[in-house]
A and B are shown apart, each in its own frame.
Chain A
Amino acid sequence: MTDAAAASPPKVEKLAPPRSQARDIWDQFKTHKGAMAGLILLCLLIAAILIGPFLWTLDPAYVDSNAAKMMLGRNKPPTWAHPMGTDQLARDMLARMLYGGRISLAVGAVAMLISVFLGTTIGVLAGYFKRLDGVLMRLTDLFLALPLLPLLLVMMMLFGDSVRKVVGPEAGTFLLIVFAIGITSWMSSARIVRGQVLALKEREFVLAARSIGTPNLRLIVRHILPNVISPVMVAATLGIAGAIITESVLSFLGLGFPPDFPTWGRLLFDGVDYMQLYPSRVIIPGLAISLTVLSVNYIGDGLRDALDPRIRGR
């Protein structure tokens, strides 16, 4: 009885191959249905605006120089030639939507990068260097107390013309919008990063790194930053959504991109004058903005769950 048990070789549990962290996160992310739907939708949208203009080759800014022909082709309902109809200058709406999406998403992405860069820098400096903490956090509080939308509008009004004069109307507006959104939206990521850094600073691996004489810069870049990457990623995702909305708000209030330069917000603003007769002119760009922001928000939600090790694996 006993020798039977002793004779059989000890059972070796077959270990699963080690899993990477990215794989774990992805597996958790996949269980969030809304986030997956958002990811698929966003990928489709990005594919459409990146590849679309090569397939749909109508010029979004083309206005027929023959005035009579142009008048006849204005404000057309959707047809096979123009699947989203035409606007008040007989320009093809689909081409304008595809082109406008590029700008809207580019604004969102670049503004988010600026905001996250500023937020992370300020957060790391405040959390890591005790002397800077007070000053930088008061600065953050000050920015949080500023009325941001009115200030953005004022900045667009006051600096718009001179920036456009220097670098051209399109690049000028783009730079101004991106910077204005960036410097008014870094506060939340700065706070999150500071909190994380304050906690990380007391951990043993930081002490160990310091004890072998790692200089501050290397310590931050090699040891602190990789550990704050997950909250920063969530903040960045939500930041894209915020930036897209802010850009469309500015365009909607007439302080964003110039009229002949389509963005989704601008298209909606142009459509408002015609919405009594042609409601599709406001619904199409509005839906595009809403769907993009909705999917980005869902992705952010899913990321937050997936990056949280307390939830992961449950």
Chain B
Amino acid sequence: MLTYTLRRLLLAIPTLLLISLVIFLLVDLAPGSPMADIPLTVPPEVKLKMMAAMGADQPVLVRYLLWLRQFFWVEPMHQFDMLFGSHIVEGQQRIISYQTRSPVFTTIGERMPQTLTVIGTAYLVGVLIAVPIGIYSAYKQYSWFDQLGTFIAMLGYSVPTFFTGVLLIVIFSIWLKWFPSIYNTSLVVTDWASFIKQVKQMALPVMVLALFNAAEISRYTRSSMLENLGQDYVRTARAKGMGEGTVVLKHVLRNSLIPVVTVIALGIPGIFGGAIITENVFKVNGIGAALIGAIHANDLPMVQTLTFIFAVLIVLFNLIADILYGILDPRIRYD
């Protein structure tokens, strides 16, 4: 297991390097990059000076390596310096946002808590709803509950989150006036009243994302449960005279959850992508909103960094899912 983990970690490095190259080149070679947007009234020699000042006259490879150095050395070491008061990378150029003129990672640090609160809660709620539904659907296969679950899961797959979001706003905040339609980031939870307010403003985005996530996970749980319910060991357990509850909730569920856990792990980077839309609908001031804002403002360093962070998350959680699978299921042998 350890060698497998190490091998996968080592393999992740070239993957990430390639992805970073793709992201860097896509942004760098694109005709719409800011170097192409210098007004025509600027004289050519001034234009050259501007390019030189920004380092844009260097060859692509040099710029890519410098960007990598910023991303993998300067930024982590800066955090290290901040923590321990050392001066390893003091005075070195960090990745600066074109919009705010401050380091990109400062903005990301400011935006992260909102995303994690809203999206994280939504994912948790989604999983907590999905697993029991999946279990019961499988146990009572083809019952009305199962049919209804299948239909709702199909809806969850098919109805795009921006429409569910907008629909919920129309129903709950315009017609019923129960919840606010906009997420207020500056709300600080200090007492019971502000906590209620926080719950209320989180309700709609959490509902939207939870429905979307629950659809997929409940289907996985159902099919995995169905597969296990037909196994011989279930018949053996029943033949021994075990209670139905023990058989289903202990024997079958434990075995069925193995693939579900990996699906849940694989879904975590995906929720950041889904969050782009939901954050936009409910005006949550998180990572997804930061990405959209940066794209509209042509803020390339921010776009590159955020996209690459998403890529890192995907690679990381793929790795975690595979390792979890190996740990949870003793039948899987990687070595």
Contact = CB atoms under 8 A, between A and B. Distances in A.
Interface of A: 34, 141-142, 145-151, 153-155, 157-162, 241, 245, 248-249, 252-255, 268, 272, 275-276, 279, 282-283, 286, 289-290, 293-294, 297-298, 301
Q: Is the interface of B mostly helix, strand, loop or mixed?
A: helix
Interface of B: 15, 18-19, 22-23, 26-27, 30-33, 154-155, 157-160, 162-163, 166-167, 169-170, 174-175, 269, 272-273, 276-277, 280-281, 291-292, 295-296, 298, 303, 306-307, 310-311, 313-315, 318
Contacts of A279: 170, 174-175
The 6 lowest CB-CB distance pairs between A and B, nearest first, are A158-B30, A147-B310, A286-B163, A162-B31, A294-B158, A158-B32
A88 to B, nearest CB: 17
Given A147-B273, A153-B291, A241 B158 contact: yes
Contacts of A245: 160
A253 B292 contact: yes
A158 B33 contact: yes
Nearest to A245: B160
B26 A293 contact: no
Contacts of B292: 153, 253
B18 A290 contact: no
B135 to A, nearest CB: 22
Contacts of B162: 248-249, 252, 268
Contacts of B298: 157
Nearest to B308: A147
Contact of B307 (A34, A154, A290): A154
Contacts of A155: 26, 30
Contacts of B313: 147
A162 B37 CA distance: 12
Contacts of B277: 249, 252-253
A253 B307 contact: no
A275 B166 contact: yes
A157 B19 contact: no
Nearest to B36: A162
Most buried by A among B26, B32, B154, B296: B32
A145 B19 CA distance: 8
27 contacts: A142-B19, A142-B22, A145-B19, A146-B314, A147-B272, A147-B307, A147-B313, A149-B273, A151-B23, A153-B292, A154-B307, A158-B26, A158-B30, A158-B31, A248-B160, A249-B160, A252-B162, A254-B296, A279-B174, A282-B163, A282-B166, A283-B170, A286-B163, A293-B159, A293-B160, A297-B157, A298-B154
